[in-house]
A and B are shown apart, each in its own frame.
Chain A
């Protein structure tokens, strides 16, 4: 189980990285960041990229900036960076809570936030996060930068709308309102496994009524997304069992469930009902 041969490119600057990527994109070139998703599939030879553009030596890609409106996460920021809140905004606590659920500690030391998004596993916690929070992906190539909204970013299982020559250079997460509440819940069979369903929720309260609900579901469809039906079941309602159950039911009914050899549609719907409600319970 050894990877197929490839040529490694080690750019030192972003420009160099983009130029190299432009050169090798047509010849099955790929970006290597943390490698925690890419290297396993290379080991199984499910991926045999001819070129790897290793961006770990590129200056400045580990940028992690809170400008008061947006948290910008550079291409080489690793999961472990979020172990402690990176901002006082509630987003910091949210990311820290979610990060602890990503795989295992040693994986979090290497794997990157943007790498997870580029890999686009349906179960990825970060993919769920950007979908739920309406993040903006910044794709860069020699032709320039392009902003992609989360809702337009994913393109099914392990597929995105990034072009071959584009590097996911950074992700911009909008900060949450200071009084925002969040909740997260995922279900997996073993500690650290890919979630079979996960949910991230945020909302605010105005006079004990939920407003601005975001209900994201991951692991249940080819790509994570917000579920408007579940959000509608929450907005304007008092937080509590009735609203949370209604949101879970709405999400469960709204999804087009992924099926695999162990998980049929009915079970996936069961899980979505539960993870949405429990994420909401966690938020309360």
Chain B
């Protein structure tokens, strides 16, 4: 154990005042200290991407950042994607195109795809495939994830 530090994390526009050890990863802090369990942890070494969140407009692995480093930054997680009852086009596209099965990797894929498309709305299909190879899914064989993200990209460009 080491000393805990008081920090405030801003997740989906809401402030969470928490006390964490410096070693607490952002992923653990989001889930356990802030109770936002939609962000999942799949490997804790930066390969699977299940924990992907958006920090200050960039999709990042929240298992490879410490919570203390995220203080004062704008953190977005899957819970903040929808606007009230209206799903984000990416969420809707995943539902429409069967882009998920067990749903465990889904929040990471949603945040990855939204994060990249917000930065690069006109990204080519080929570059998008490169982006989607960032995260692992074991259920879908990626076919319908790619289809979903391409459909949402169209929608987001409108």
Which one of B45, B66, B134 lies within 8 Å of A105 (CB-CB)? B134
Report, as a range, how many residues of chain B touch the other chain: 20 to 34
- Asked whether A40 and B2 contact (CB < 8 A) given A105-B59, A105-B134, the answer is no
Which one of A1, A6, A100, A110 lies within 8 Å of B44 (CB-CB)? A1
Residues of B within 8 A of A5 (CB): 1-2, 21-23
A254 within 8 A of B: no
Interface members, chain B 1-48 (any A CB < 8 Å): 1-3, 5, 21-23, 25, 28, 44-46
A80 within 8 A of B: yes
Interface members, chain A 132-184 (any B CB < 8 Å): none
Closest A residue, CB atoms, query B52: A106
Contact between B60 and A109 (Cβ–Cβ < 8 Å)? yes
A2 within 8 A of B: yes
Report, as a range, how many residues of chain A touch the other chain: 20 to 34
B68 within 8 A of A: yes
Closest A residue, CB atoms, query B46: A40
B76 within 8 A of A: no
B49 within 8 A of A: yes
A236 within 8 A of B: no
Which one of A2, A4, A54, A106 lies within 8 Å of B69 (CB-CB)? A54
Residues of B within 8 A of A2 (CB): 23, 25, 28, 44
Contact between B60 and A4 (Cβ–Cβ < 8 Å)? no
Residues of chain A having any CB pair with chain B under 8 Å: 1-8, 35-36, 39-40, 42-44, 52, 54, 56, 80, 100, 104-107, 109-110, 190-192
